[in-house]
Amino acid sequence: TSEERGEIITRFFCTAGRGLEPFLMREVRARLAATQVEYISGKVFFTTCSDLNMLKKLKSAERLFLLIKKQFPLIISSVSKGKIFNEMQRLINEDPGSWLNAISIWKNLLELDAKKEKLSQRDDNQLKRKVGENEIIAKKLKIEQMQKIEENRDCQLEKQIKEETLEQRDFTTKSEKFQEEEFQNDIEKAMDTHNQNDLTFRVSCRCSGTIGKAFTAQEVGKVIGIAIMKHFGWKADLRNPQLEIFIHLNDIYSVVGIPVFRVSLASRAYIKTAGLRSTIAWAMASLADIKAGAFVLDPMCGLGTILLEAAKEWPDVYYVGADVSDSQLLGTWDNLKAAGLEDKIELLKISVIELPLPSESVDIIISDIPFGKKFKLGKDVKSILQEMERVLHVGGTIVLLLSEDHHRRLTDCKESSIPFNSKDSHTHEPGIKKCLNPEEKTGAFKTASTSFEASNHKFLDRMSPFGSLVPVECYKVSLGKTDAFICKYKKSHSSGL
């Protein structure tokens, strides 16, 4: 069982950029073997027994939280602030067991992670010791051979070997001692952090909708904080708490959780200079069905974020990045060196509308089409697609990030222009509400998946094929201040270009 293997079955949720929920749902199932996968706008909930090391590998998520509770929204019907505050405090007072259970699981996750780290260090030490012993044996054999040839050097060589043996043992002992001290420090820190009697905490609150208009996040945070102090005896510490409590209240749901990592999962240590958001870049690469040995091209690579994300996840591939800008290519090169991928990705200074590649020579093209700053929205976009279409194999895949203007121009029918309807958003309220009902988890999951599929088909129905490129999938995603579309095409036949 999971318990026998030291695994902890836990309910988590991740925040995600708007529109990336379907990518995150697929990822947690594939990477974490997650079950009970549900979504609400901007969040994906799932159950898994994966450890922290696996959870850190999530690429389409923003932040990861241990779920304390998820329920329907607070009803703001009373004009009395006191009554509303009492309603908020019920998040703690009604079910304190779920809070204590979450803290216990959090503690166990960190301790399990520390134990696995200790085992890993012990294996490394054993390997180092074995290597050291082998070296000593080899040197002793060499001495015996030398004895037969030159007996007069016996004493000198034996002395040398003894000295090296002592040095090796001394080095191994010091290394083990240092690693043991580091591990003990981690364990003590974890134990101190999770002592439930003198725990320090702070509340991070996000409010929107009706409750956001009635109260500030600070007011709600203060009310929740007081309730936690009274009920559990924990101490508030706004600067350097041992525990952070995350609460999100709006008109659709109330969610409470504990951040598992202080740093966002979207912050990639291997990216020196950020370009396109890493979660978007990974989502695009995941849609391309990259296989080992493929030839993958980004003909407008910018700072190379898409190629970096792809090469980290799918390494056994031939990657080529191209751009017309010297400064962008220099930035890409810096990123490749920082990520240790300079030997994995080839860079070219070329124009996307004049690619020096044979027709039908590329397996996959993934690219972020500039949003009108370098290219005009009209004929240039179509000339870009024509050149991509030319170099792509029949059966090959193109994944593009398109602005709303680009998307509209490429998807308009010849007879008339069909403007984008905001109702085609992935997230429909009936799906959200079902997802929140604990008695209808299976139905909620189906509803969530169906809403994504229905939305996707609405986009595809309006996307007329461009030449031999046939639309396969399309997702509207948020880039912060603006929206964009991740669109996937397949080349159905030879373009004849």
CATH number at residue 383: 3.40.50.150
Of 226, 259, 292, the one marking the end of a domain is 259
C-alpha distances (whole Å) from 327 to each of 305, 339, 366, 369, 434 are: 15, 18, 21, 18, 49
pLDDT in tens, 207-266: 999 889 889 999 999 999 999 999 999 999 999 998 999 999 999 999 999 999 988 999
Lowest model confidence (mean pLDDT) among 30-34, 52-56, 146-150, 241-245: 146-150
232 in the same domain as 286: no
Domain membership flag for residue 340:
yes
**pLDDT band, very low/low/confident/very high, at 28 (cuts 50, 70, 90):** very high
Residue 185 maps to a domain: no
- Is residue 230 located within the same domain as residue 378? no
62 located within any domain: yes
**Shared-domain flag, residues 364 and 247:** no
Backbone φ and ψ for 274, nearest 5 degrees, come out as -75, 140
Judge whether 400 and 369 are in contact, CB under 8 Å. yes
H-type helices in 254-372, by residue range? 278-287, 305-313, 326-339
pLDDT for residue 18 is more than 80 = yes
Q: Would residue 16 be called left, alpha or beta, if left means φ above 0 and alpha means ψ between -120 and 50 degrees?
A: beta
Structurally, the chain folds into a number of domains equal to 2
Q: Considering the domain boundaries, does residue 68 fall inside one?
A: yes
Q: Are residues 467 and 325 in the same domain?
A: yes
Which residues are within 8 A (CB) of 20 and not within 5 positions of it... i.e. 6 or more apart? 60, 279, 280, 283, 477
Whether residue 226 is found in the same domain as residue 326: no
Q: What is the pLDDT of residues 69-117, one digit of tens each?
A: 999 998 877 667 888 888 889 899 888 889 999 998 988 887 876 776 6
Give per-residue pLDDT as tens, 370-419: 876 544 445 577 888 899 999 999 999 999 999 998 888 877 733 333 33
CATH at residue 56: 3.30.2130.30
Based on the domain organization, do 399 and 303 belong to the same domain?
yes
Please identify, among 216, 231, 259, the residue that sits at the C-terminal boundary of a domain. 259
Mean pLDDT across the chain: 79
Q: What pLDDT does residue 249 have?
A: 94
Q: Which residues of 367-399 are buried (b: 16+ CB within 10 A; e: fewer)?
A: bbbbbeeebeeeebbeebbbbbbbbbbeebbbb
| 417: Cβ contacts below 8 Å, ≥ 6 apart | 408
Which residue range(s) make up the domain with 106?
10-112+197-259
Tokens 């525990």 belong to which residue?
Answer: 243
Residues 97 and 213 in one domain: yes
Residues 399 and 472 in one domain: yes
Please say whether the beta carbons of 44 and 13 come within 8 A.
Answer: yes
At residue 338 the predicted structure's pLDDT band, cuts being 50, 70 and 90, is very high
Per-residue pLDDT of 441-464, as tens digits, reads: 333 444 445 556 555 555 554 444
- Residue 497 maps to a domain: no
Q: Are residues 212 and 337 in the same domain?
A: no
Residue at 303 is within a domain: yes
**What is d(CA 159, CA 474) in angstroms, rounded to the nearest whole number?**
73
What average pLDDT does this structure show over 280-297? 97
Instruction: Please tell me whether residues 332 and 392 are part of one structural domain.
Output: yes
Give the three-state DSSP class for 489.
Answer: strand
Is residue 207 domain-shared with residue 285, that is, in the same domain? no
Question: Side-chain half-sphere of 339: how many Cα atoms within 13 Å?
Answer: 29
> Is the residue at 117 inside a domain?
no
pLDDT reported for residue 84 = 85
Is 174 a domain residue?
no
Which residue is it, tokens 């995600």? 16
> What share of the chain has pLDDT > 90, as a percent?
49
User: Per-residue pLDDT tens for 143-190?
Assistant: 566 565 555 554 554 455 445 444 444 443 444 444 344 434 434 444
pLDDT score recorded for residue 140: 64
Same domain for 201 and 301, yes or no, is no
Q: Which residue has the higher pLDDT, 439 or 303?
A: 303
Rounded distance between C-alpha atoms, residue 6 and residue 108, angstroms: 10
CA dihedral for 348, 350, 352, 355, sign (positive or negative): negative
Residues 6+ apart with CB under 8 A from 221: 203, 204, 205, 247
Residues 6+ apart with CB under 8 A from 288: 296, 310, 364, 366, 397, 399, 488
Query: Can you tell me which residue has the tokens 């880039």?
Result: 479
What would the mean pLDDT of 347-376 be, rounded to a whole number?
86
